[in-house]
Amino acid sequence: MAEYCLAHIVERERSFGAFRRAQEQAMWSPAEDYSYRTLGELRIGILGLGDIGAHVAATLRSCGCTDVHALVRRPRSSTSSSCGDSSRSGDSGRSSSSSAAGGSNTRHDSGSGGDGTSGGGAGVTLHGALPSLLRARCDYLINTLPSTRATSGLLDGDTLAAACAPGGSAQQHQQLQQRAPVLINVGRGDVASEAALLRALDAGWLSGAVLDVLPAEPLPRSSPLWRARGVTITPHVAAKSTAADVARVFRENLRRHARGQPLLYTVDWDQGY
């Protein structure tokens, strides 16, 4: 999932899609007409900092993203994650709307200033409330949340308007639309309804979307999302479980069970994941 997110960010920033279309028409674009932002110039927002979100954050930071923000349900001292980390057993640390609806930012180690607080050695700015993260004006919003009663519809309604609030003049509004974030969803599709996504795109609250998970799967051929401008749709392939992955986790949990240690990735029925 981390590689999927990184690949789509680079593809959009480097305009690879436009170059493919130009090649199909044998068109050469002058170098002076080509500009892009480097990873170090981008601000990334991650909804949920559990095993998936933490790995996404670590991968992006290792590739040069120095300005990473995350919505968290509870304080964390680090975003590192591994299969052998028993402290994560049964707790993905992903955010829920109980924290997204309210709460406050939580300071970890040295503060980073601004709206959020530092995530310790990992250097991730943590937010305890969704509006706080959206007001950070991220260039990309990456959803890694699970599907629970608390997260379903989290981005519906006017929620995403906070990510790109309109200015006072038409020119300011156009500039803000150009700076609106791109939503990358690798979590679950019910975090935002189809109507909410289309409205956010039409209103300029989002400048685009990369959707690997959708409210309905397979996505009906009649869905306007197939043809929506700035939208990339993939058929739930951001990360496929391999036999080797399953065997590795099973072996580790068998070892832990034999030693009476907590198991990895247990389901909490109360939390819903």
For residue range 142-183, what is the model confidence (pLDDT) as tens digits? Answer: 999 999 988 999 999 999 999 985 544 444 445 444 579 999
Is residue 97 within a helix (H) or strand (E), and if so which, with residue range? helix 97-100
Among 231, 188, 230, 4, residue whose Cα is nearest residue 97: 188
Mean pLDDT of the chain: 82
Residue type at 108? H
Cα 50 to Cα 91: distance, rounded to the nearest angstrom: 8
Longest CA–CA separation in the chain, Å: 66
225-228's contacts with Cβ under 8 Å and 24+ in sequence apart are 225/194, 225/197, 225/198, 228/197, 228/198, 228/201
pLDDT at position 270 is 86
Question: How far apart, in Å, are the Cα atoms of 126 and each of 69, 104, 218, 220, 236?
Answer: 6, 10, 34, 37, 28
Residue type at 42? L
**Least confident window among 117-126, 160-169, 237-246:** 117-126
Question: How far apart, in Å, are the Cα atoms of 84 and each of 60, 80, 110, 265, 266?
Answer: 22, 11, 28, 11, 14
Confidence of residue 214 (pLDDT cuts 50, 70, 90): very high
What percent of the chain is predicted at pLDDT more than 70?
A: 77
Higher confidence at residue 99 or residue 144? Answer: 144
Classify 1-74+120-235 by CATH class: alpha beta
Q: Write down the residue that tokens 């392939």 correspond to.
A: 237
What percent of the chain is predicted at pLDDT more than 90?
A: 68
Question: How far apart, in Å, are the Cα atoms of 30 and each of 16, 33, 153?
Answer: 15, 6, 44
Mention every residue, 6+ apart, whose C-beta is less than 8 A from residue 245.
Answer: none
pTM, to two decimals: 0.81
Whether the per-residue pLDDT at 246 is higher than 90: the answer is yes
pLDDT at position 118 is 43
- What integer is the mean pLDDT of 111-137? 71
Confidence of residue 75 (pLDDT cuts 50, 70, 90): low
- What integer is the mean pLDDT of 213-223? 96
pLDDT in tens, 13-71: 999 999 999 999 999 988 778 899 999 999 999 999 999 999 999 999 999 999 999 99
Q: Write down the residue that tokens 């493919």 correspond to.
A: 20
